[in-house]
Amino acid sequence: MARPTVGHLDASFVEMMEDLKDGLRGVFRTQNKLTFPFSGPATVGQEGLIVNILEPGDLFVACINGVFGERMAQMAERAGAKVVRFQQPWGRAVDPQALRETLKANPGAKLVGFVHAETSTGVLSDAKSLIQVIHDAGALALMDCVTSLGGIPVEVDAWGADAVYAGTQKCLAVPPGLGPVTINDRVYDVIKNRKTPVQSWFMDITSLTKYWGDGGHTGRSYHHTAPINALYGLHEGLLLVHEEGLENVWQRHARVHKAFVAGVHAMGLAMLVPPAEQANSINTVKVPEGVDEAQVRALLVADHGIAIGKGLGDFSGKVWRIGTMGQGATLDNALLCLGSLEAVLHKLGAKVKLGAAAAAIAVG
C-alpha cells in the first residue's frame, strides 16, 4: 500500500484491476463478469446493491437475526421499497422453512436479503438452503458475506446467489475501505432495465462498469478517482489467500475457531450460539454474571494490548465479540487472547479456571 500512487487509468493499474477482479472471483467462487470492489467500506457495497436492484414500490424481504439484517431493511426503505421484516431470534440461524412460509404470505418479492455470518451475533445461516427457498418464490437472493468471505466456505455459483457483497477487513485481512461485490447476469439485466434512475449517482453499476469493465479489457473511462493504494492492499491480500489455498484458509479458520471455543468452555465461560450454528470467524462469548464487560475490554487493551468487540444491539453488555479471522486466525493468537482474558477476569475476581484454556487449546 506504500507503493507510488499511479493514475486511475494508468495502463499498469488497469492491468492490476483485471488481476484483482480475477482474485475476487476466486474467493467468491464465481464466474460472474461483474465482480469488483466499490470504493468505500462494505456498507457501500451493501447499499450499492440494494439501490441498484430495488426501485420505488418493489417488495423487499429482509431476514433479520441481528444488526446487519435490520440495516438492509432500512436501506431498502430509503430506496422507496416496500419492506417486510422477517424477524428471527437473535443468536440463531435463519430458518429456511419459516422463510418459505413468510414468502408465501408475501408474494411478489423482488429481492430477499440475508446475512450469511451475522457479525453482531456470530451466527452462520445455511445460505444454500435459504437461496433455494428464495428462488422457489421467484425472487432474487441478496447475500451478506462481510464476515464469511475468505474464512468460511462461500460458493456463489454453486449456491446460485444472485447478488453478494463483502468487506476487506475481516477474513481477507486487508485494511477497511473497499466493498467487494459480485452480481450475476440476471441481476445485471434487472439493473439495465430499470424504469427509474438508480437513486445514487456514485453507486450506479451501469456507470461503474464503464470504469471497471463488464467483462472486457478495453474501453475504460473515468468515473471517479479510485482509492489506488487501498486497491493495492486488496490485490496483495487476495494473493496471500490464493497462495495459501482457499480451502486451506477455510480449514485454518475452522481449526482455530474450534480450539478457541474449547478454550472458552475450559475456562468456565459459555458461547452464545449453538455449536452447529457458530461462524468460524466471529465468536460471541457470554459475559459472566456480575462482571463489568466494559472494564474487561478496557483492561485487555491497557494491560495486554488486545482489543475485543462489545455486544451490538440486543446483546449490548451481554457478550464479547472476538474474531478468529484472516491472517490473525492462528492457534498462537487464540492462546494469547484467551490467556489475557483469563488474567483480566481473575484480576477482577471472576471465577475462571486458571490455565484451563491453554490446556484445552494444546489438546485441540
Q: Which residues pair with 180 in a beta bridge?
A: 37
Distance (Å, rounded) from C-alpha 263 to C-alpha 93?
23
The pLDDT of residue 215: 59
Asked if pLDDT for residue 214 goes beyond 90, the answer is no
Asked if pLDDT for residue 218 goes beyond 60, the answer is no
Distance (Å, rounded) from C-alpha 229 to C-alpha 316?
35
The pLDDT of residue 282: 97
The pLDDT of residue 120: 95
Alpha carbons within 13 A on the beta-carbon side of 48: 29
The pLDDT of residue 9: 78
Residue bearing cell 431498502? 76
Name the nearest CA neighbour of 240 among 175, 173, 287, 303. Answer: 173
Following CA atoms 148, 152, 156, 160 in sequence, which dihedral angle do they give, to the nearest 10 degrees?
Answer: -100
The pLDDT of residue 313: 87
Residue 166's SS3 state is coil
Residue 321's SS3 state is strand
Distance (Å, rounded) from C-alpha 115 to C-alpha 147?
9
**299-316 pLDDT tens trace:** 999 999 999 999 998 899
Confidence band of 219 (pLDDT split at 50, 70, 90):
low
Secondary structure of 262-319 in HEC code, one letter for each residue: HHHHHHCCCECCCHHHECCCEEEEECCCCCCHHHHHHHHHHHHCCCCEECCHHHCCCE
Report helix angle 356-363 to 246-267, nearest 10.
140
**223-274 pLDDT tens trace:** 998 999 999 999 999 999 999 999 999 999 999 999 999 999 999 999 999 9
The pLDDT of residue 8: 80
Q: Is 213 left (phi over 0), alpha (psi -120 to 50) or beta?
A: left
Confidence band of 98 (pLDDT split at 50, 70, 90):
very high
Sorted by where each starts, the structural domains of the chain and their CATH numbers stand as 11-244 (3.40.640.10), 246-363 (3.90.1150.10)
Asked if pLDDT for residue 128 goes beyond 80, the answer is yes
The pLDDT of residue 111: 98
Report helix angle 246-267 to 331-347, nearest 10.
20
* Mean pLDDT for the stretch of residues 133-138: 98
Return the number of other C-beta atoms located less than 10 Å from residue 232's C-beta.
20
**11-59 pLDDT tens trace:** 888 888 999 999 999 999 999 999 999 999 999 999 999 999 999 999 9
Q: Which helix (H) or strand (E) holds 112?
A: strand 111-115
First to last CA, the chain: 36
Asked if pLDDT for residue 217 goes beyond 90, the answer is no
Residue bearing cell 485494511? 175
Distance (Å, rounded) from C-alpha 161 to C-alpha 181?
12
pTM over 0.85: yes
Asked if pLDDT for residue 221 goes beyond 60, the answer is yes
* Mean pLDDT for the stretch of residues 80-104: 98
The pLDDT of residue 10: 82
Average pLDDT, the chain: 95
| Separation in Å, CA 77 to CA 8, 54, 107, 185, 203 | 34, 10, 18, 25, 17
* Mean pLDDT for the stretch of residues 105-116: 98
Asked if pLDDT for residue 73 goes beyond 90, the answer is yes
The pLDDT of residue 28: 98
The pLDDT of residue 363: 75
The pLDDT of residue 216: 53
Return the number of other C-beta atoms located less than 10 Å from residue 195's C-beta.
7
Phi first, then psi: give them for residue 89, nearest 5 degrees: -60, 130
Q: Which amino acid is at 190?
A: V
* Mean pLDDT for the stretch of residues 342-358: 93
Vertex 112, ends 106 and 117: CA angle to 5°? 135
